[in-house]
Amino acid sequence: MKNLDNLGRIILASQSPRRKYILKKINLDFKVIPSDIIEDFDETSPSTLVQTCAFEKAKKVSMDNLNNLVIGADTVVVLDKIIMGKPRNVNESREMLCMLSGKTHKVFTGVSIQNINKNINELFYSMTEVELHIIPDNIINYYIKNYEPYDKAGSYGIQDWFSSQIKKINGCYYNVMGLPLSKVFKCLYDLSVNNLND
Amino acid sequence: MKNLDNLGRIILASQSPRRKYILKKINLDFKVIPSDIIEDFDETSPSTLVQTCAFEKAKKVSMDNLNNLVIGADTVVVLDKIIMGKPRNVNESREMLCMLSGKTHKVFTGVSIQNINKNINELFYSMTEVELHIIPDNIINYYIKNYEPYDKAGSYGIQDWFSSQIKKINGCYYNVMGLPLSKVFKCLYDLSVNNLND
């Protein structure tokens, strides 16, 4: 794995194990420094919200790591006009899954890639539609009890047991997991950060 | 994990590690008995081809396991009217990926679920559209050299490094990997094979 020295080691400004997993798919060498910003943004559109939040997460870590390339990301689930973040408890979890059952929702992930000293400031988002089967109550209860999806926007993980309830998606799969991989790859490739020399 | 006793232990009639991985997602208890049929079917449509092949795979194993529920599957990649199976060598691999680059292709998986003694004979297929970015030659060469995708229809794995080249999909993600998980789950659930009592 090679990074161009002048862009510095890559930092993922997120503690999500799923984002780590996704970046490892492309054999990227990076370290993790979670940003501890308070996610309290008043944006009207989901695409603006996730980009603003991703930018602030990356900026917070970039300020202490001016020579590094920092990646920040934020994901929300949107059903009609309702924006869902992470459920706070079992009741919110059940409420979210009941609302999503049998319907098509949208997953937005915003991504910010910054290197302050090199004046790099890439910002983009990706949207994927996800259609769920109608999920009976006993399946919702089984899932919440066994998988405790409290750290996931919309209260489900597309990569875990819940995948059995997903009828189809339209868009980038990894975007639903938390990071639109092919867009991130292309951005890094255009910045000459790649590992194709291995 | 519980199976209804009268349907017998589930057998996956496939040696694909990806199909094993997918079935394990739903915590299914099963064993693997690959079927050694010669995949030489002259069907005109991809959906008929994969269903015929899946049926014959499951039937071959079912004949020696009359009391078991046997799952067979077959996957092909289709670009325009060209049906792609597994590449036989590096040249075929390169040829397939060059053809797929920058275009949208279709992935068909046929599934057969049989229990001969109980007269169960379920047959269905799933189709997912996959759109790839334009992939430069150096990336195609890098991928073939490092990932040797010779055991995969169309010469790529949607779950490995190649995921970085996938712009979007429309349909079931696991169908592209080799087994349409939510359709299989629904079929097993309707047959009362499930693990929701755990």
Q: Which residue(s) pair with B128 in the sheet?
A: B107
Kindly report which listed range (B42-46, B56-60, B151-155) carries the lowest average pLDDT score: B42-46
pLDDT of residue B41 exceeding 80 = no
Q: Which residue has the tokens 């496939």?
A: B14
Mean pLDDT of chain A: 92
Catalytic residue check, B74: yes
Beta bridge partners of A129: A106, A170
Complete DSSP assignment for A82-148: EEE---SSHHHHHHHHHHHTTSEEEEEEEEEEEEGGGTEEEEEEEEEEEEEPP--HHHHHHHHHHH-
Testing the interface with B: which of A128, A144, A164 to mutate, by most B Cβ within 10 A?
A164
Contacts of A22 (CB under 8 A, 6+ apart): A174, A177, A178, A179, A181
With vertex at residue B178, the alpha carbon angle to CA B172 and CA B183, rounded to the nearest 5 degrees, is: 45
- Distance from C-alpha of B55 to C-alpha of B42, rounded to nearest angstrom: 14
Q: What is the pLDDT of residue A44?
A: 76
pLDDT digits (tens, 9 = 90+) for B71-100: 999 999 999 989 998 999 999 999 999 999
At residue B42, the pLDDT reads 74
Domains of chain A: 5-190 (3.90.950.10)
| Residue A1 banded pLDDT, cuts 50, 70, 90 | very low
More confident position, A48 or B42: A48
* A136-180 pLDDT, tens digit each: 999 999 999 999 999 999 999 999 999 999 999 999 999 999 999
B63: amino acid identity, one letter: M
CB atoms within 10 A of CB B11: 23
User: Is A124 within 8 Å of chain B by CB?
Assistant: no
Bridge partners, A84 (sequence order): A77
In the predicted model, what is the mean pLDDT of chain B?
Answer: 92
Q: Which pLDDT score is estimated for A158?
A: 94
* Residues forming beta bridges with residue A111, ordered by sequence position: A73, A124
pLDDT computed for residue A192 by the predictor: 80
User: What pLDDT score does B192 carry?
Assistant: 80
Interchain proximity A170–B166, CB inside 8 Å: no
What residues in A contact B136, CB-CB < 8 Å?
none
Percent of chain A clearing pLDDT 70 (strictly above): 93
Q: Which residues of A touch B181 (CB under 8 A)?
A: 163-164
Which of B139, B153, B174, B151 minimizes the C-alpha distance to B15? B151
How many CA atoms lie within 13 Å of A158's alpha carbon, on the beta-carbon side?
A: 29
Q: Is B85 on the interface with A (CB under 8 A)?
A: no
- The angle, 0 to 180 degrees and rounded to 10, between the axes of the packed helices B181-190 and B17-25 is 60
- Catalytic sites of A, residue numbers: 74
Spatial separation of the C-alpha atoms in residues A168 and A166, rounded to whole Å: 6
B29-40: per-residue pLDDT in tens?
Answer: 999 999 988 777
Residue A184 has pLDDT above 50, yes or no: yes
User: Amino acid identity, residue A136?
Assistant: P
pLDDT at A2: 40
Q: What is the pLDDT of residues A72-98, one digit of tens each?
A: 999 999 999 899 989 999 999 999 999
Chain A positions touching B166 (Cβ under 8 A) are 172-173, 181-182
What is the C-alpha to C-alpha distance for residues B94 and B145, in angstroms, rounded to an integer?
10
Encoded tokens for B189: 């659930």
Lowest-pLDDT choice from A3-7, A69-73, B185-189: A3-7
ipTM of the complex: 0.88
pLDDT given for residue B194 in this prediction: 63
pLDDT at A195: 58
**Whether residue A3 has pLDDT greater than 60:** no
Cα separation, B92 vs A51, in Å, equals 42
Cα–Cα distance, A92 to A126 (Å, whole number):
26
Cα-based distances in Å from A51 to A19, A54, A75: 16, 5, 9
Q: In the prediction, which pLDDT does B37 show? A: 82
Q: Mean per-residue pLDDT for A39-66?
A: 90
Closest Cβ opposite residue A25 in set B164, B168, B185: B164
Given a cut of 50, is residue B167 above it in pLDDT?
yes
Q: For residue A163, what is the DSSP state?
A: G
**Residue B198 scores a pLDDT above 90:** no
Quick check: helix, strand or coil at residue B128? strand
Taking a C-beta distance cutoff of 8 angstroms, is the pair B14, B36 a contact? no
**Which tokens belong to B103?**
């275009």
